[in-house]
Amino acid sequence: MERKYVAEPYKIKVVEPIAVTTQEQREKFIRDAGYNTFLLNSEEVYIDLLTDSGTTAMSDNQWAGMMQGDESYAGSKNFHNLQKAVKDLYGFKHTVPTHQGRGAENLLSQIMIQEGDVIPGNMYFTTTRAHQELNGATFRDVIIDEAHDSTYDHPFKGNVDLEKFQALIDEVGADYIPYICLAVTVNLAGGQPVSMENMKAVSNVSKKHNIKVMFDATRCVENAYFIKEREEGYADKTIAEILHEMMSYADGCTMSGKKDTLVNIGGFLALNDDELYQKATELVVVYEGMPSYGGMAGRDMEAMARGMYEAVDYNYIHHRVSQCQYLGDRLEEAGVPIVKPVGGHAVFLDAKKFYDHIPQDEFPAQTLAAQIYLESGVRSMERGIVSAGRDDDGNHYYPELELVRLTIPRRVYTYAHMDVVADSIIDLYNERAGVEGLKMVYESPVLRFFTARFEPLE
């Protein structure tokens, strides 16, 4: 029998107890954390849906690999295994290990961007855009308009609008666009995928203008799964085949291995071009380490190489996305406003609709994340005006999407945990009237969402 929500394709060998707290304790904890869920201690959290980044449960096979770490300073055998996995599964010639995704973004931005360049992308990601800007580039969003509408049901809401892309090339000139950064899937749009057809089209336009295509491959396996489920002609292909074809439309990628390579730390920059690789190796020794380990220990490279093969197992990814879908469906059935369709790594609550009486500069998503914690001990993340930061004139960016992300770690929680999350959010939704927003009392100049502090409005 085909089940609507597929059960876990693993059994549990080790358990980690989690904290059960009272409402009274949580009131103190969130106050001490300045109403910012990033500043809570993990011991104060019951179900941690802050992020799917580095929170994966590794398999026994990966842990066995950790014992085979070759910690030689140069030429570690684990590096060769990692290089082989990247070549086999993604098809790229060169791999530069980094400590995590933003280490790869730093290298890529430095080797490719000149002051005054413009980098198109399908919606921004915080660290990706920060590195582009630090290197003197301006980010320009070329995602389809539908991606900014939380209610619009589109199978590939991460797609690039090819007319916007072409218009940007006409406006600034291809010489000022070293590459387009294509995220597969798009985190801030709600974990939305890009279709194979769109990747191919982006690659064709880019080739014509001598613009390189760089993927942010952070959640590329989830993207491959959606292509199998939703795009004509891919139902009978394996996840590995789809992934390989996806990557054939890119010249390289940055990877946060903390997501779709199923590890707790690590990342890489992968490239086909020999000259760019040469430049990356010159920089990696300054920022990370020798090119054959970059920012990683041998054992971590081994766990990553093994995780990459596990991630393309259909049973793994089918369950992963099914669990997100289950949480989304439960909330939607109760009328809670969520981003549709549900993406590959998280369910996003639409805070503008949830608290439609709270103006955006009183931080509805930040407020909702704090309320969810108070109600249930569940930790989520603001992805709205606080995450978007300020422009050069010091004004807030006002993003269309004001969201709270319930991010599901890989292979960590069960459907019963998802029920706790759904029940508490449904209760909050039914009692939403009269909840007041927050005021920001501290912020840092870059990536302020990590450390900003808030107080309730008087």
- Which residues of this chain interact with ligand F0G, rule CB under 6 A? 51, 53, 100-102, 125, 127-128, 183, 187, 216, 218, 256, 258, 267
CA separation for the pair 192, 184 (Å, rounded): 8
Closer of 83 and 128 to ligand F0G (Cβ):
128
**Torsion sign over Cα 141, 146, 152, 154:** negative
Closer of 47 and 358 to ligand F0G (Cβ):
47
CA separation for the pair 398, 389 (Å, rounded): 9
**Minimum CB distance to ligand F0G, residue 327 (Å):** 17
**Minimum CB distance to ligand F0G, residue 205 (Å):** 22
Q: Which listed residue (79, 363, 449, 454) is catalytic?
A: 449
Q: Which listed residue (320, 383, 405, 411) is catalytic?
A: 383
Other beta carbons within 10 angstroms of residue 178's beta carbon come to 20
**Minimum CB distance to ligand F0G, residue 407 (Å):** 6
Closer of 113 and 169 to ligand F0G (Cβ):
113
CA separation for the pair 297, 188 (Å, rounded): 30
Q: Is 255 helix (H, G, I), strand (E, B) or coil?
A: strand
Other beta carbons within 10 angstroms of residue 285's beta carbon come to 11
CA atoms within 13 A on the CB side of 112: 31
Q: Which listed residue (26, 140, 259, 306) is catalytic?
A: 259
452 touches 386 (CB < 8 A): yes
**Minimum CB distance to ligand F0G, residue 123 (Å):** 9
CA separation for the pair 36, 447 (Å, rounded): 13
> What is the SS3 string spanning 129-175?
HHHHHHCCCEEEECECHHHHCCCCCCCCCCCECHHHHHHHHHHHCHH
Q: Is 125 a catalytic residue?
A: yes
In angstroms, the Cα distances linking 104 to 256, 271, 300 are: 8, 11, 16
Residue 216 is given by DSSP the state E
Beta-ladder partners of 138: 118
Q: Which listed residue (55, 126, 261, 407) is catalytic?
A: 126
Q: Which listed residue (73, 314, 397, 442) is catalytic?
A: 73
83 touches 331 (CB < 8 A): no
Q: Is 379 a catalytic residue?
A: no
Closer of 49 and 385 to ligand F0G (Cβ):
49
Kindly state the tokens that stand for 216.
Answer: 């942010």
Q: Is 102 a catalytic residue?
A: no
Closer of 358 and 365 to ligand F0G (Cβ):
365
Q: Is 449 a catalytic residue?
A: yes
**Minimum CB distance to ligand F0G, residue 96 (Å):** 14
The residue at minimum Cβ distance from ligand F0G is: 101
Q: Is 126 a catalytic residue?
A: yes
**Minimum CB distance to ligand F0G, residue 237 (Å):** 24
**Minimum CB distance to ligand F0G, residue 258 (Å):** 5
Beta-ladder partners of 179: 212
Q: Which listed residue (216, 251, 260, 350) is catalytic?
A: 216
Q: Which DSSP helix (H) or strand (E) runs through 214?
A: strand 212-216
Q: Which DSSP helix (H) or strand (E) runs through 268?
A: strand 267-271
Kindly state the tokens that stand for 163.
Answer: 């007319």
Phi-psi region of 233 (alpha: psi -120 to 50; beta: other; left: phi over 0): left
Q: Which listed residue (35, 46, 124, 125) is catalytic?
A: 125
Q: Is 73 a catalytic residue?
A: yes
Closer of 51 and 59 to ligand F0G (Cβ):
51
Alpha carbon 47 to its chain's center: 19
Closer of 109 and 218 to ligand F0G (Cβ):
218
Catalytic residue set: 73, 125-126, 216, 259, 383, 449
